[in-house]
Amino acid sequence: MSVSGLCWDVEIPGRASSSFESARRQGFLTVETEEHGSERLGIPVAVARTMKARRESGELSPASRSELLFILNEQSRRTAWSRIAKLVNRRDYSAHDLSEKLSDDGYGQQVRQEMVARAIDCGLVDDRRFGSAYARAKAASGWGIMRISQELARHGVDAESLPGWPDEYFDGQSEDERAYQMAKARRLPDKNAYEKLVRYLCSRGFGLPCAKRVARRVIDESELSFEQ
């Protein structure tokens, strides 16, 4: 489409063959002007589809490159916000995870920051709410403090920022006692029982000193029971 020396078009990629490819697809906005020459800008697929539909319907008729880019930025924000609304309607997200989702979709840093900040301001996203629910679910499934803290950090949430962490998430049991209950419920292997039990407890998120104490306690109790 050409208006007063401005020529522009939108390219939409073909269907992806895998979820990996889908997360990295891009649309393109091609712009040609006398001043800037030919430009090819990568844009999110959802934005490309909307821009193309609006162009074909005659809704878009920018008079200059700057006006076209302004429209593109506004469309990116609207589309990113719509994407956020759909995501959080399915489940809760941390701000970090939501930003990563938008990044995978091809949105730039400025749009991601603005739209995630807006989601936080209106309560759609709350890291403490997300972190608390995540920590309680993982504690209930037997994860230890260290593993939960590490996984929360991967989601961009500091465990220490959660109200009542960690005492209110583990039914008043000490770390050693929770590790002991998990270890007692596990059948002891015939060989290298101590080493395997330590590795098991560490894999569940218990610290190495705790895992060693509990593994030794369980082994000692098992040997004492066998002697009796």
Class of domain 2-121 (CATH, top level): mainly alpha
Q: What dihedral do alpha carbons 137, 139, 206, 203 form, nearest 10°? A: -40
Class of domain 127-172 (CATH, top level): mainly alpha
Range 43-55 average pLDDT: 96
The pair of structure tokens assigned to 203 is: 């894999």
Q: What is the pLDDT of residue 140?
A: 85
Please give the residue that has the higher pLDDT: either 86 or 220: 86
Start and end residues for every CATH 1.10.10 domain found in the chain:
2-121, 127-172
pLDDT in tens, 90-126: 999 999 999 999 999 999 999 999 999 999 999 999 9
pLDDT in tens, 135-188: 999 988 888 888 899 999 999 999 999 999 988 888 766 778 888 888 888 888
Q: What pTM value is reported for the model?
A: 0.73
Does 52 have pLDDT greater than 70?
yes
Q: What is the pLDDT of residue 101?
A: 96
Cβ atoms of residues 149 and 124 within 8 Å: no
Q: What is the pLDDT of residue 2?
A: 47
CA-based nearest residue to 201, from 189, 186, 191:
186
Q: What is the pLDDT of residue 116?
A: 98
Taking residue 167's Cβ as centre, other Cβ atoms within 10 Å add up to 10
Percentage with pLDDT > 70 across the chain:
91
Q: Which amino acid is at 43?
A: I
Does 16 have pLDDT greater than 80?
no
Q: Where are the alpha helices (DSSP H) in the chain?
A: 19-23, 45-56, 65-90, 95-104, 109-121, 127-140, 145-154, 175-184, 193-203, 208-227
